[in-house]
């Protein structure tokens, strides 16, 4: 199993948000986590990627055979965990080329590989950009500065393509996307998906799941998964609304 989360409890500033979360993800699978606002979906993503301030009070996160609780975020990233951010942050003055080169070479260093040559890197950037249909010159633009909502999300998938993670978490990647951008983003994910990697897609709406078809759908409420099923569950949820989830909880 690629990722196995057991009885995870997470608090922020003493307030418990995740209350016994369990999830297993195998290579090759696509999982969707759905649920109303404030149920802890983004908290879960932050806890798995190791964000500071998210205190794990109980439980284990097993990834590639080791419990990664307490591991610094950059190490988790270098082990192949990737988060596509809901709100990608701007870094003024830092070009995408410089940023990605630093990231790619940090991972290579972690793996004991020499830095990638500039020629190979430029080639790789071009190729991956095409995958998410970014046609404009990306390399000299500053990280997310002046990007439209759609561009920011495409840029996240582009970075995912560059770093070739085994576990990708997409946090509300569909929010604020028009249908064309949504299609491009989903298309990128589908191209990257293979039997060796896995995706966990956090979303509010069933819409994204028409494009990225999940093997499993989990419904989250009040800090834990209350129902799991296949993609039909997403449709059922869409139809019955989140009020239905609250009933499930009881």
Partner 1 sequence: MDSNPKENIIEEVTNKDYEFGFVTDIETDFIPKGLNEDIIRLISKKKEEPEWLLEFRLKAFRHWLTLKMPTWAHLTIPPIDFQDIIYYAAPKQRKEKKSLDEVDPELLATFDKLGISLDEQKKLSGVAVDAVMDSTSVKTTFQETLSKHGIIFMSFSEAVKQHPELVKKYLGKVVPYTDNFFAALNSAVFSDGSFCYVPKGVRCPIELSTYFRINAANTGQFERTLIVADEGAYVSYMEGCTAPQRDENQLHAAIVEIISEKDAEVKYSTVQNWYPGDKDGKGGIYNFVTKRGICRGDNAKISWTQVETGSAITWKYPSCILKGDNTVAEFYSVAVTNNYQQADTGTKMIHIGKNSRSTIISKGISAGHSQNGYRGLVKVVPEATNCRNFSQCDSLLLGDQCGAHTWPYVECGNDSSILEHEATTSKISEDQLFYCNQRGIPTEKAIGLIVNGYAKDVLNKLPMEFAVEAQKLLSITLEGSVG
Q: Where along the sequence are the contacts to partner 1 (CB under 8 A)? A: 49-53, 72-74, 77-78, 82-83, 85, 88-89, 91-94, 98-99, 102-103, 106-107, 110, 142, 159, 163
At its nearest, how many Å lie between partner 1 and the CB of residue 92? Answer: 6
Rounded-to-integer distance, Cα 128 and Cα 57, Å: 39
Are 41 and 27 spatial neighbours (Cβ–Cβ below 8 Å)? no
Letter string b/e over residues 140-153, b meaning 16 or more CB atoms within 10 A of that residue's CB: ebbbbeebeebbbb
At its nearest, how many Å lie between partner 1 and the CB of residue 159? Answer: 7
Beta carbon nearer to partner 1, 44 or 85:
85
Name residues whose C-beta falls within 8 Å of residue 15's C-beta, 6 or more positions apart in sequence: none
At its nearest, how many Å lie between partner 1 and the CB of residue 46? Answer: 9
At its nearest, how many Å lie between partner 1 and the CB of residue 106? Answer: 4
Q: What is the largest CA-CA distance in the chain?
A: 58
At its nearest, how many Å lie between partner 1 and the CB of residue 87? Answer: 8
Letter string b/e over residues 91-123, b meaning 16 or more CB atoms within 10 A of that residue's CB: eeeebbbebbbebbeebeeeeeeeebeeeebee
Beta carbon nearer to partner 1, 66 or 230:
66
Instruction: Give the tokens for residue 214.
Output: 């999940």
Instruction: Give the tokens for residue 99.
Output: 């940023």
Beta carbon nearer to partner 1, 198 or 225:
198
Beta carbon nearer to partner 1, 103 or 124:
103
Beta carbon nearer to partner 1, 64 or 183:
64
């Amino acid at each position: 199993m690629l990722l196995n989360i057991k009885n995870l409890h997470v608090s922020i500033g003493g307030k418990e948000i995740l209350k016994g979360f369990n999830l297993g993800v195998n290579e090759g699978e696509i999982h969707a986590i759905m649920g109303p606002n404030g149920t802890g979906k983004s908290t879960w993503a932050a806890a798995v990627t190791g964000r500071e301030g998210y205190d794990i009070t109980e439980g284990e996160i097993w990834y590639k055979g080791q419990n990664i609780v307490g591991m610094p975020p950059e190490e988790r990233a270098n082990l192949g965990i990737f988060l596509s951010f809901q709100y990608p942050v701007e870094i003024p003055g830092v070009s995408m080329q410089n940023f990605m080169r630093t990231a790619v070479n940090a991972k290579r260093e972690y793996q004991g590989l020499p830095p990638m040559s500039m020629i190979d890197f430029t080639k790789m950037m071009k190729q991956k950009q095409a995958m998410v249909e970014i046609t404009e010159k990306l390399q000299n633009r500053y990280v997310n500065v002046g990007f439209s909502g759609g561009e920011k999300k495409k840029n996240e998938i582009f970075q995912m393509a560059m770093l070739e993670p085994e576990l990708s978490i997409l946090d509300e990647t569909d929010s604020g996307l028009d249908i064309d951008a949504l299609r491009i983003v989903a298309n990128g994910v589908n191209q990257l998906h293979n039997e060796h990697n896995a995706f966990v897609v956090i979303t509010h709406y069933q819409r994204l799941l028409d494009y990225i078809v999940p093997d499993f759908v989990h419904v989250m409420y009040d800090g834990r998964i209350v129902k799991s099923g296949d993609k039909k569950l997403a449709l059922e949820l869409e139809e019955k609304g989140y009020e239905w989830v609250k009933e499930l909880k009881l």
